[in-house]
Structure 1
Amino acid sequence: MTVMKPYMKYCGAASREDVECISQSRGDAIGFIFAPSKRQVQPDQVKHWLEQTKCSKDVVGVFVNEEINRICEITSKIPLSIVQLHGDETPEEAQEIKQQTEAIVWKVFHHEPHLLATLEKMTNYAPVVDGFLIDAKVKGIRGGSGTAFAWEAVPAYVQHAKRLKKTCAIAGGVTPASITKLLDYGPKAIDLSSGIEENGKKSSAKIKALEERMFSYVRISK
């Protein structure tokens, strides 16, 4: 079985050092959290860090039930490639955000034991978003919990997203130790945050370990 390299997003950069660390990695995207969180950052900081480090990754902004005007304001300040909606945004709001920002929009859903409930949400949002991110459901936490869901469900999410012609990223509990187990299930995109951190900071050693394991496992396409 040939496994292609998934799109890799390293999320939750919260300092210039984090941005430097991710910009030197082989990841595809860097994520910043603009919602209340221990990793929350301000747009001016992000703009400054990106300029200082000359980071060339896709830039992702993570929002939770944010005012549409505020998302537009941040997108005009920072060149966000992807707007990631992590809250209870409706399909109408997602569509409005996509139209106004002209960014790629991903909607986050939490894995439910009843798989059909999540698959149905994907279908409902498919006309108005470009992709989905499936994360573990942890009470009281929107994301970045470091908890994995039952990855046996990943192929169902990936196949459904493919039918809908959308991207599907997998998040939650991905670490250098678990990356190859997740790759067995064929994710097309992977989102990491706490799994590449040491003492709350992004770790170049952990990223290097993760990438070494991943690149020895996948076939690199031209």
Structure 2
Amino acid sequence: MTKIKICGLMTIEDIQAVNQARVDFAGFIFAGGRHHISLEQALKLRTELDTNIPSVGVFVDASMSEMLKVVKSGAVSIVQLHGNESEETITILHNHGVKVIQVFKSPQSKVLRTQADYLMVDSGKGDGQKLNWNNLQTTPDILAGAIDLNNVGEAIEQVHPQIIDVSRGVETNNKKDPLKIKQMVNRVHEL
């Protein structure tokens, strides 16, 4: 069964929707952009999130102290590196007992070997651009990039990732849509 991560969670309503849908991972974005939340917000959301759902913190070239502060607070248990972080950064996070998702944003180039626990391929910086799945040089653990209800089946069939990562693909009018979340989770778990 393919798993699913819903990213860009910002409100208690978002958390209620992912709890009800029984997602496999919940994502909080600590980098800039429309879905950015503060540590204080993330802690409030984490207290409402089902304890069986791991929370992932998305960072872009953040300092080690910032990432470790978020992990030690209990807001997240997995760090997603979405910038130009080095293998040394992954080693340090591993030394602190933190699982790591390393994101590669150039699907046409060969993905370098990484020590990260999960390799993710995305189309960019969460900009809603779809990947050309035919050009992938490797099979990622996690696939992201403009995945929605219309193309998730094709994405899983072509790429065979362990995990699908979705944010804007389950939104209506720039807000998480509980019905779309439920439909997406059900669809992914069926495949």
- Give the count of matched residue pairs: 190
Structure 2 counterpart of 1:147: 129
Matches within 5 A, 1:46-195: 46-100=42-96, 102-113=97-108, 115-116=109-110, 119=111, 121=112, 123=113, 125=114, 128-137=115-124, 142=125, 144-154=126-136, 156-158=137-139, 168-185=141-158, 186-195=160-169
Q: 1:213 aligns with which of 148, 171, 187?
A: 187
Structure richer in helix, relative to its length: 1
Match of 1:30 in 2: 26
Distance 1:26 1:91, change over 3 A: same
- The RMSD of aligned alpha carbons is 1.8
User: C-alpha distance in 1, partners of 2:189/2:81?
Assistant: 30
Distance, in Å, in 1 between the alignment partners of 2:163 and 2:71 is 23
Gaps of 5+ in 2: none
Contact (CA 8 Å) 1:23, 1:56: kept in 2 or not?
no
Q: Would the aligned equivalents of 2:42 and 2:75 in 1 still touch at CA under 8 Å?
A: no
Q: Is the 8 A contact 2:60 2:83 kept in 1?
A: yes
Q: Which runs of 5+ in 1 are unaligned?
A: 162-167
Pair 1:45–1:153, CA change in 2 (3 A): same
Question: How far apart in 1 are the matches of 2:40 and 2:86?
Answer: 28
Partners of 2:189 and 2:118 in 1: how far apart? Answer: 24
Max Rg structure: 1
Residues 65 and 215 (structure 1 numbering): CA distance in 2 closer, same or farther, change over 3 Å?
A: closer
Q: Which amino acid aligns with 1:35?
A: A
- Give the superposition deviation at 1:133: 0.9
Shift of 1:14: 1.1
Offset of residue 55 of structure 1: 4.9
Superimposed CA distance per residue, residues 44-79 of structure 1 (whole angstroms, 9 cap, x where no aligned partner):
212112223545311100011111011111111125
Task: Determine the C-alpha separation between the residues in 1 that align with 2:79 and 2:176.
Answer: 22
